Structure 1
């Protein structure tokens, strides 16, 4: 820094070089150790964290200790008027875990050649080729635009160069010692610290095998969001409570990403223990950073050919464990990791650098772009997104009624909201979509991934439904939207209609004609929330009507022996009256071939709209 004791002007005849301790320029390092020769060894972990990684609670403590020493995400940042800079650096021998993955890469037909790691420089936002130290332990870069360089035979005087902003990313896959940064200008000043992007993960976060430490997805995301990167990805890591010790007092994250879970597939593991660790880790993280938005990824796609999932692994349930644990913390946003890479067998084979798990350069870029899209879409608190989504849905008019009504009731989370496209998700994992811009809707659904429940309700015409069906690899089926805004209250003799409790779950399953439509746990949640009404004769249940997770009336069933006695009308109108009493509009979805339900809806005053503006994609 200018005027700092760390800056030194080289003496001697004709000397034009200045130098700065590299340690003064570090970003993303949480600890720095200086050896007897004055060289700095930066670390992206605190000492207490390193002890936790190497403790008996770790799955592979020795392995984690080696890979935690790698300098992934650490960078030197400075401004200078120099035309050429040189970094003194000594790279350590790559850890065993690094060497084994690189061996896989070299034998995989779709992977580019090496080198697979080194130092990467960005000058004024432009990336320079990956570099390795020379025999003297130095890496040098020319900073000036070649078109603006002096003509042959002329020499630019110190201080006459253009000002440059430089970022040098240190290696992802090994550790290093740093000496000084040398420059031929008049100043070399450190860049002030920014807020952090904190990434907690495994080898996919550490940067295996991006072929450039500035081109792994955490580094690309940090650059896109103008944040410093604290990358705590460790190859082989899983959810390990206790590894966040002291972190909240040392970093200032604007955003946090959690990418863990893939390594459970390699060895035997019990779901109960994994569940405990996932919940414990995310609870510790939430407690340490209660006001910071946290994006939690489910597992990314992989190929089974080289390293099949262990038959005694609980990997099949890991994503559900992550979803459940994430839902317990309001500041956490779930990201479907399966959507971050194209999953077609040919696509995935070309995107994975090692034929197993680790994205190559194109895959790293895809993950960064799609994850960045999801983070931008879900950055605001859920309440803010819901209000914005409702504004856009109401402005869209009748075609977006189901989405607007769902948001008015507060029963959906808005995942994407722009004036020309909306995506919302309800409690069972199904989604509602409306869009004027089909390309924008396709982009949103590509990045958000398939709905967990496998069902998407599309509010719009046939062209939008076809677009979304192609995007999700599914089929679209038209449906009538029925509005019961003017439905009357039940008439005739007063009947025994009650709110059903969870004790009626078995009876409902035994009589419901379309039990296959119920997602796991949907009936229990509906009963617990008082969403079902039952009709009783002489104290015995004779029929019921419910409400689907998105708020539409449905599940209307009258038991044999009690039909054609007015029970269908009574139950339907009673459920509609409940909605109206809460200030809502009662509505329903009816398949075109369900003539009986359509006739009933019309008989009670429902407005049956044509089956060309509401579709189900599944």
Structure 2
């Protein structure tokens, strides 16, 4: 794409943490700034490459500033994922939001390539060039500008250029919603970073989102609970369940105490904030069949990989977890704790996506909702939780 001729010269603004929303940490790299969604101390406690990839993908992270700029260029170094045998993935999208409204999209070609061979269980990284996301034709007035980074693509921020000075977005006094969940909360298969279900719900609820949806990694890890504990927030939600089944990580005996411990830790930092525990959305393959989940390699050549439940329903007797077992236990735990914690709430995930939604918008890979289902879930969450429920604004 060509750069349009400007009557105003470009201004390069140093990229600093105060221009970022939704990141818990920023790392200085050889190229620039890499936003992280878990602090360094948490990252040091787990060597899982899936977690490292998920927390460095900037779901919900956006550059946020105030400017009269009519043109904005953002140089980034993305890391693209390439799955052996699968169709190439589209470039990640950057969503431009001006004064709270969608105002354009861009993507960045090039970048590093992470090649993942799921059958061999190997990965290989190839370095690549920095590219530019470009937005032009913005209104020539002071405005709030947000650039939502690709939710599913690790992105190093290299340079920000505008044709007018930039200042960090002033505090609008909006409540901060801190959310933790699995790849569904991370935004897997959503259309774009500002249309993941949590981003849509936050926009409708008029709150600032910090999204700790960690693909494959909502596993009740103590370091994630501490990250939630230590992050300033007014409203907190945790969506627990599907990844514990996917990974076949623990049995019922470990699950209950782990949930209690996780909630205890969050409460140390946020003793009275509304805290919502959300159980899994409907996922037919795992309702009554334990994990692990495994990719079905027979479908590799198709448009998308599908997933299968590898456990045996009979293993529930030995304490193996299924979604129905988890939902029942979460409801029981919240009911027990709510006797001493009036700000603790529960939401059955099937209220966001249940039988009716599965009939109308089936999970394309048997595990993740598609873009239409994300939109539906965001609207439902806003309706059930922000409009009238536990996150309703005081006096609403």
Structure 1 or 2: larger strand share?
2
Is 1:243 paired with 2:243? no
* Structure ID, larger Rg: 1
For 2:98, the equivalent position in structure 1 comes to: 123
Deviation at 1:35, TM superposition (A): 2.5
Kept in 2: contact 1:115–1:211 (CA 8 A): no
Kept in 1: contact 2:66–2:145 (CA 8 A): yes
In structure 1, the residue corresponding to 2:107 is in which secondary structure? coil
In structure 1, the residue corresponding to 2:268 is in which secondary structure? helix
In structure 1, the residue corresponding to 2:188 is in which secondary structure? coil
Distance 1:30 1:267 in 2: 26
Distance 1:299 1:291 in 2: 24
For 1:174, the equivalent position in structure 2 comes to: 153
Distance 1:182 1:380 in 2: 37
> Which structure 1 residue ranges, 5 or more long, are not aligned?
1-12, 56-60, 107-112, 146-160, 386-417, 419-618
Kept in 1: contact 2:20–2:61 (CA 8 A): yes
Distance 1:247 1:340 in 2: 23
With over 3 angstroms needed to count, the CA separation of the structure-2 counterparts of 1:36 and 1:235, relative to structure 1, is: closer
For 1:188, the equivalent position in structure 2 comes to: 166
Is 1:77 paired with 2:44? no
Deviation at 1:84, TM superposition (A): 1.1
Distance 1:247 1:19 in 2: 34
For 1:34, the equivalent position in structure 2 comes to: 28
With over 3 angstroms needed to count, the CA separation of the structure-2 counterparts of 1:128 and 1:358, relative to structure 1, is: farther
For 1:310, the equivalent position in structure 2 comes to: 311
Distance 2:227 2:190 in 1: 30
Counterparts of 1:132-171 in structure 2 under 5 Å? 132-134=107-109, 137-144=131-138, 161-171=140-150
Kept in 1: contact 2:69–2:163 (CA 8 A): yes
For 1:91-116, what per-residue CA distance to the aligned partner results, in whole angstroms no more than 9, with x for missing partners? 0133x8xx59x95xx7xxxxxx9737
With over 3 angstroms needed to count, the CA separation of the structure-2 counterparts of 1:89 and 1:369, relative to structure 1, is: same
Distance 2:391 2:307 in 1: 41
Deviation at 1:134, TM superposition (A): 4.8
For 2:390, the equivalent position in structure 1 comes to: 379
In structure 1, the residue corresponding to 2:234 is in which secondary structure? strand
Counterparts of 1:586-597 in structure 2 under 5 Å? none
State TM-score, norm by structure 2. Answer: 0.76
In structure 2, the residue corresponding to 1:253 is in which secondary structure? coil
Deviation at 1:174, TM superposition (A): 2.2
For 1:274, the equivalent position in structure 2 comes to: 255
Deviation at 1:45, TM superposition (A): 1.3
In structure 1, the residue corresponding to 2:245 is in which secondary structure? helix
Deviation at 1:261, TM superposition (A): 0.3
For 1:514-568, what per-residue CA distance to the aligned partner results, in whole angstroms no more than 9, with x for missing partners? xxxxxxxxxxxxxxxxxxxxxxxxxxxxxxxxxxxxxxxxxxxxxxxxxxxxxxx
With over 3 angstroms needed to count, the CA separation of the structure-2 counterparts of 1:166 and 1:349, relative to structure 1, is: farther
With over 3 angstroms needed to count, the CA separation of the structure-2 counterparts of 1:348 and 1:116, relative to structure 1, is: farther
Choose which of 343, 348, 351 in structure 2 pairs with 1:339. Answer: 351
For 2:40, the equivalent position in structure 1 comes to: 47
In structure 2, the residue corresponding to 1:245 is in which secondary structure? helix
Counterparts of 1:218-297 in structure 2 under 5 Å? 218-237=198-217, 238-245=219-226, 247-249=228-230, 251-266=231-246, 268=248, 269-297=250-278
Distance 1:243 1:83 in 2: 40
For 1:210-238, what per-residue CA distance to the aligned partner results, in whole angstroms no more than 9, with x for missing partners? 12011101112222233332211111122
Higher relative contact order (CA 8 A, sep 6+): 2
Distance 1:224 1:119 in 2: 20
Q: CA RMSD in A?
A: 2.9
Deviation at 1:338, TM superposition (A): 0.6
Distance 2:267 2:278 in 1: 15
Kept in 2: contact 1:92–1:176 (CA 8 A): yes
Q: Give aligned pairs, total.
A: 334
